[in-house]
Amino acid sequence: MLKKLGAAFGAALIISAATLAHGATISGAGSTFAAPLYSKWAEAYKTQDLNYQSIGSGGGIRQITANTVDFGASDKPLKPDDLATNNFVQFPTAIGGVVPVVNLPGIKSGDVKLTGANLADIYRGAIKKWNDPLLAVNNPGVNLPNLPITVVHRSDGSGTTFIFTTYLAAKAKHWATDVGANDAVQWPVGIGGKGNEGVAAFVKQTPGSIGYVEYAYAATNSLTYTLVQNKAGKFTTPTAAAFAAAAAGAKWSSAPGYYLLLIDQPAPDAWPISGATFVILHKNQANGRQVIAFFDWAFKNGDAAASSLAYVPLPAAVKDLIRKTAFAQVK
Amino acid sequence: MDLLEGVSVSAGSLKMSDVIAQPVLRRRASARGAILSTLFEWLCFGAASALLAALAGLLVSLLIGGWPALHKFGFSFLTVSTWNPVTDVYGAAGPIVGTLVTAGLALALALPIAGGVAFFLTELCPGPLRRPIGTAVELLAGIPSIVYGMWGLFVFAPLFAKYVQLPLMTAAKPGSLLDTLTTGIPNGSGILPASIILAIMILPFMAATLRDLLLTVPASVRESAYGLGATTMEVVLSVSLPYIRRGAIGAVMLGLGRALGETMAVTFIIGNSHGFPTSLFDSGSTIASTIANEFTEATSDMHLSALIALGLVLFVITFVVLGLARLLIGQQERRT
């Protein structure tokens, strides 16, 4: 016990010494989803060090409100009112999305087509078996088995859950009134796995199960995903291009504080369950310009790094808009 | 956990004081010794008060943090099993029941095995094997809980589903008690798998403490019993066990305390639903797993407050369990 304490104390000393050595460090905290991306960007950014604590979006917002960090990162954008009261600037940095994954015998990625209403019915327990006629309608020729559906959701509060439940609430009235959208909700049915890896593990171990994970996680772990119908009526495949289409088609310019959820975008190739991850900082604060300089650099040079981690970079037009509107506000 | 460590230390220090009392008295003769002794006593007093202050500080901050939720929901916080972050309505009944059930099951599973390990190591084990097995037990105690969680999810759960859960579920007659107990999703998650993982985690603590306690039984006492013709079983059950009874209850409480507060390993495998678990394979949640799951992303003030109030409830549960254990020990002491 003592040894452990000693080791922890020693490590803390080393870390604080390292921080002191580079006086000019930008500090950020928040979104765990964005953490790998920001660390990769920070690694390549030579001007300054970035100290990013991936403590979760809620913690990130609390820390920037309390001024203990230079920027907060959140997967759930703050509403324009909240931005105004705190004198915050908010802008998106990258696009991600949520992908339904299934475990069905003999079914490969892209075989099963689902609508938003289907997903909402499955997640509230109204559709209980895979051979339900409601699912069969859109899946002619697909051998959907007579298996009970095991619903798997995230157990931890998460931006992924926020995007997914926002989508379900947008597509089904009963979901909006009975469950709602949040980073943690009271799930009507199903079991909860901790993190993307927890959900993926339960789905892998349970024949007949369906779960939802971040696109980056599904892509790097080659999970069996389904197609989802978008607003234009097309059953879309979750690809980087489909997320970019959702981001490009969105009306960012008419969204104050970039408060925009990329749910169910009208673009013909858009993936319907998309979302952005956001950075929040004060308009007037120490290190504000340095934070902007970092993200400006990342917008210019960071796309390849983002793609290599299966994040989707913002379209160039959106970046320009952010430079003109959000970046300019920070003093 | 920290509470329990404190208790085990104080139980140990009773014996320590018997040992050091003699030399200290002798040194009192010199003036320098007297000053040193006073200093020593004050230092000890300071250490004890620091512990109390930390405990009080913790309790007060939990009370302040949890007050908005406790004030809003009142007693129903303990009796309602709704946990809805969207409407900001919170009731902790599900996690409370989950915590007590998993900890109780884990204790029931681990105690006989821990006792067996300790008896084997002290009474039956051939000399050369004693050290390797003892070290293995201590090594098990040093494994971080996240490792148990990962192992539980990726290795234990699939095996458990295939070789325990599915056979039990198929063997159960519809409507029978077994059927009620084994209803669930056959993927190796739920209350019972979580309890088994917990049992594996608390086993080394209890086994190591019990072994150390058994080693304190004076050889003369045990050998007299053997001399009178007692078998190994009789020596263990009627001589050694009564001798260490007091400490043994402490060891059990240490295990129970760890089981009550264990977070990561449980979070991975319990299934994390906030209602009441209705069967052994049903998914549930514990207080610690709920806090671990939701604390990072709790954006609304009431959500955060409800989670802190949950922490307070766990604090009280642990406190009550310890109090009961003390009461039990006290009663037994008086009877003998």
CA–CA min distance A101, chain B (Å): 16
Mean pLDDT of B186-202: 91
Q: Which amino acid is at A38?
A: Y
Beta bridge partners of B42: none
Q: Which residues of B touch A179 (CB under 8 A)?
A: 86
Q: Three-state secondary structure along B26-43?
A: HHCCCHHHHHHHHHHHHH
Beta-bridge partner residues of B284: B271
Does the pLDDT of residue B329 top 80, yes or no?
no
At residue B333, the pLDDT reads 61
pLDDT < 70: residue spans in chain A? 1-23
* A314 CA to centre of own chain: 14
pLDDT band at B335 (very low <50, low <70, confident <90, very high): low
* DSSP-assigned letters across all residues of B310-335: HHHHHHHHHHHHHHHHHHHHHHHHHH
Which of A305, A318, A224 has the alpha carbon at shortest distance from A265? A318
Cβ neighbours, 10 Å, residue A253: 12
φ, ψ (nearest 5 deg) of residue A208? 90, 10
Question: Mind listing the domains of chain A with CATH numbers?
Answer: 2-96+249-260+275-329 (3.40.190.10), 98-246 (3.40.190.10)
B69-99 pLDDT, tens digit each:
999 999 999 998 889 888 889 999 999 999 9
Q: How confident is the model at residue B331 (pLDDT cuts 50, 70, 90)?
A: low
Q: Contacts of residue A61 in chain B, CB cutoff 8 Å?
A: 299
Concatenated DSSP letters of A281-323 = EESS-TTHHHHHHHHHHHHHH-HHHHHHTT-BPPPHHHHHHHI
C-alpha atoms less than 13 angstroms from C-alpha of A42 in its C-beta half-sphere: 18
**Is A202 strand, coil or helix?**
helix
Q: Which of B326, B315, B308, B321 is nearest to B68 (CA)?
A: B308
pLDDT tens digits, residue range B304-322? 999 999 999 999 998 888 7
User: What band does B25 get if pLDDT is binned at 50, 70 and 90?
Assistant: low
When scoring A65, A191, A199 by the number of chain B Cβ atoms within 10 A, the one with the most, hence best to mutate, is A191
CA dihedral B286, B291, B297, B301 (to 10 degrees): 120
Query: What would the two tokens of residue A240 be?
Result: 């980087």
Taking only the tens place, the pLDDT of each residue in B257-286 is 889 988 888 999 998 888 888 888 888 899
* Closest CB from B153, B188, B299 relative to A198: B153
Least Cα distance to B272 among A202, A193, A125, A181 occurs for A193
Q: What's residue B26's pLDDT?
A: 54
Q: Do B299 and A150 touch (CB under 8 A)?
A: no
Q: Which residue of B has its CA nearest to A190?
A: B273
User: What integer pLDDT is reported at residue B9 of this predicted model?
Assistant: 41
CA distance A102 to A204: 8
| pLDDT at residue B27 is higher than 70 | no
Is 70 exceeded by the pLDDT of residue B136? yes
Of A226, A219, A257, residue with least CA distance to A241: A219
A254, amino acid identity: S
State how far the Cα of B217 lies from the Cα of B214, in Å rounded to an integer.
6
**For A181, phi and psi rounded to 5 degrees?**
-125, 130
pLDDT of residue A69: 93
Cross-chain residue pair A186–B188, CB shorter than 8 Å: no
> Pick from A159, A194, A202: which is nearest to B267 by CB?
A194
- Distance from C-alpha of B137 to C-alpha of B257, rounded to nearest angstrom: 19
* Chain A positions in Cβ-Cβ contact with residue B304 (cut-off 8 Å): 58
- The whole-chain average pLDDT of chain B stands at 84
Assess A57–B contact: CB distance below 8 Å, yes or no. yes
Contact A185 B185 (CB under 8 A): no
Work out the burial of residue A188: count CB atoms within 10 Å of its CB; fewer than 13 is exposed, 13-18 middle, 19 or more buried: middle
Kindly list the residues of chain B whose beta carbon comes within 8 Å of any beta carbon in chain A: 82-87, 153-154, 157-158, 161, 185-189, 267-268, 271-274, 283, 285, 289, 292-299, 303-304
pLDDT tens digit sequence for B217-260: 888 988 899 899 888 888 888 888 888 888 888 888 888 888 99
| CA-CA-CA-CA dihedral for A122, A127, A129, A134, to nearest 10 | -110
The number of C-alpha atoms within 13 Å of A328 and in the hemisphere containing its C-beta is: 7
Contact between residue B202 and residue B174 where contact means Cβ atoms under 8 Å apart? no
- For position B288, what pLDDT does the model report? 93
